[in-house]
C-alpha cells in the first residue's frame, strides 16, 4: 500500500456537491481524525507506508549497497597493503584487528559519503512529492500537515539509522573475514575486550545517526522551499562541502563550534578511555539545535503552503 493510497481522499458522490479531493477535505467524515485511536492508526499506517516506499526505491537500495561496499573496499585495500607502515591511527590498526574496521569506516565515510545518501532521501521527501503532483493530496489528508512533516522526518531518521547500521555491519563482517579479531587497542592506548569494543561501535552508530539526522532536518527544510528534488539535494550537499571547507580554514576558527560538520567526527571520543562524554554531549546539543531550527523552518513553510496552487 502506497502513501498515495492511504492519504488520497475519496471522490465524493455527486449528491454531495463535491467535485474532487479539495471538496472532501472541506467536509471530512466526523471523527476521521478527532478520535485518538483512529488518528494513531492512520498515523502509523502513513509512517509504515512512507518507510516501505523509501526502502523499496531502487535508488535508495543502490545507495545502501554502495554504503555496504565501501567498508569492504577499505578492508581489502588495507589487506593488500598490510606490509606498509601501520601507524597509530584507527585505519593503521585494521591489519592487526578486524574489529577496528568499523571505526575506520565511519572515519572515512562520515565526512561526505554518508551525508550524501541522507541528503538524497531527505531532500526528496517533500520536493519529490511536489514534483510528482502528490503533495496537494498529502496536505489535504486528515493526518494534518504537522503530523505529515513528523512522519517525513521520522522516516529520514529511520533511513539514517539504517545507513549507519549497514556500514557498521558490513565493516564488522569484512573485518572478521579479512583480519584477526581480539581485544582492541583504543586511541588512548588502552586495550579493551572485543565485547566492549562492539558496545562502543554501537555508541558510534547512534552518535553518527544523530549527526546525520540533523543534516536530514536541514535537507527537509530545503525540500519544503522548492519543487525540484535535485535542487534540495544539491543545496544540502553544498552546505556540507562549505562547512567542511570552513572547518579546515584556521582564519575562521571562531565559527567552527556552530558548524554541523565540526561535530561529526566527535564519535572518536568513544575510542578513548575514559570516553569524553562532554564533547559528544556538546555535539548532540548542536545536532538537536539544528534539528529544532530547521525543523521549525520546514514546519513554518509546510503549514503555510498554498495547496490550491
Q: How confident is the model at residue 113 (pLDDT cuts 50, 70, 90)?
A: very high
Residue 14 maps to a domain: no
What crossing angle do the helices spanning 145-178 and 100-109 adopt, rounded to 10°? 130
Residue 83 belongs to some domain of the structure: yes
The verdict on residue 140 lying in a domain is: yes
Query: What domain range includes position 47?
Result: 3-7+33-303
Task: Determine the average pLDDT of the residues in 257-274.
Answer: 89
Looking at residue 306, its pLDDT comes to 63
- Tell me, yes or no, whether 205 lies in a domain: yes
Residue 36 binned pLDDT confidence (cut-offs 50, 70, 90):
low
**Whether the predicted pLDDT of 22 surpasses 50:** no
The pLDDT value given to residue 51: 93
Comparing 228 with 297, the larger pLDDT belongs to: 297
The pTM for the full model equals 0.81
Name the band, by pLDDT with cuts 50, 70 and 90, for residue 204: very high
pLDDT given for residue 247 in this prediction: 86
By C-alpha distance, which of 62, 246, 270, 253 is closest to 166? 62
pLDDT value of position 227: 83
89 pLDDT more than 70: no
Partners of residue 192 on adjacent β-strands? 184
126-147 pLDDT, tens digit per residue, is 887 777 766 666 666 555 778 8
pLDDT at 164: 97
Question: Is there a domain that residue 141 lies in?
Answer: yes
Residue range 204-211: average pLDDT?
A: 96
CA distance 221 to 236: 10
So what's the pLDDT on residue 140? 61
Comparing 163 with 4, which gets the higher pLDDT? 163
Write down the pLDDT at residue 97: 83
pLDDT for position 190: 86
Give the span between the Cα atoms of 20 and 17, in whole angstroms: 10
| Distance (Å, whole) CA 155 – CA 174 | 28
pLDDT band at 161 (very low <50, low <70, confident <90, very high): very high
Indicate the number of domains in the chain: 1
Query: Distance (Å, rounded) from C-alpha 61 to C-alpha 121?
Result: 11
Residue 181: pLDDT band with limits 50, 70, 90: confident
Within-domain flag for 308: no
The pLDDT tens digits of the residues spanning 224-264 come to: 988 888 988 999 999 999 999 998 888 888 899 999 999 99
What are the angstrom distances between the C-alpha of 18 and each of 5, 28, 37, 133, 191?
A: 20, 12, 28, 21, 71
pLDDT band of 182, cuts 50, 70, 90: confident
Q: How many CB atoms lie within 10 A of CB 11?
A: 13
Specify if 19 maps to a domain: no
Strands (E), the chain: 184-185, 191-192
Distances (CA, A) of 70 to 60, 67, 74, 102, 136: 16, 6, 6, 11, 39
Backbone angles phi, psi at 184, to 5 degrees: -105, 135
Residue 13 lies in a domain: no
Amino acid at each position: 500500500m502506497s502513501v498515495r493510497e492511504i492519504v488520497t481522499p475519496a471522490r465524493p458522490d455527486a449528491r454531495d456537491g463535491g467535485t474532487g479531493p479539495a471538496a472532501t477535505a472541506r467536509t471530512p467524515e466526523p471523527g476521521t481524525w478527532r478520535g485518538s485511536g483512529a488518528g494513531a492508526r492512520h498515523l502509523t499506517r502513513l509512517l509504515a507506508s512512507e518507510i516501505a516506499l523509501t526502502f523499496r526505491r531502487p535508488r535508495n537500495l543502490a545507495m545502501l549497497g554502495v554504503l555496504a561496499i565501501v567498508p569492504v573496499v577499505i578492508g581489502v585495500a588495507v589487506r593488500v597493503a598490510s606490509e606498509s607502515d601501520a601507524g597509530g591511527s584507527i585505519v593503521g590498526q585494521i591489519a592487526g584487528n578486524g574489529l577496528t574496521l568499523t571505526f575506520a569506516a565511519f572515519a572515512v565515510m562520515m565526512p561526505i559519503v554518508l551525508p550524501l545518501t541522507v541528503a538524497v532521501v531527505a531532500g526528496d521527501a517533500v520536493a519529490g512529492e511536489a514534483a510528482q503532483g502528490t503533495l496537494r493530496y498529502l496536505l489535504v489528508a486528515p493526518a494534518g500537515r504537522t503530523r505529515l512533516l513528523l512522519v517525513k522526518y521520522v522516516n529520514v531518521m529511520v533511513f539514517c539509522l539504517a545507513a549507519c547500521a549497514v556500514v557498521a555491519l558490513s565493516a564488522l563482517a569484512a573485518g572478521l573475514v579479512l583480519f584477526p579479531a581480539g581485544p582492541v587497542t583504543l586511541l588512548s592506548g588502552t586495550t579493551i575486550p572485543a565485547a566492549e569494543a562492539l558496545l562502543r561501535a554501537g555508541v558510534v552508530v547512534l552518535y553518527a545517526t544523530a549527526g546525520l539526522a540533523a543534516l536530514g532536518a536541514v535537507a527537509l527544510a530545503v525540500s519544503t522551499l522548492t519543487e525540484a528534488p535535485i535542487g534540495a539535494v544539491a543545496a544540502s550537499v553544498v552546505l556540507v562541502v562549505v562547512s567542511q571547507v570552513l572547518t579546515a580554514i584556521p582564519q575562521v576558527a571562531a565559527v567552527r563550534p556552530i558548524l554541523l560538520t565540526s561535530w561529526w567526527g566527535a564519535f572518536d571520543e568513544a575510542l578513548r578511555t575514559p570516553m569524553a562524554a562532554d564533547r559528544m554531549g556538546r555535539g548532540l546539543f548542536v545536532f538537536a539545535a539544528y534539528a529544532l531550527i530547521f525543523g521549525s523552518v520546514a514546519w513554518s513553510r509546510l503549514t503555510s503552503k498554498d495547496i490550491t496552487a
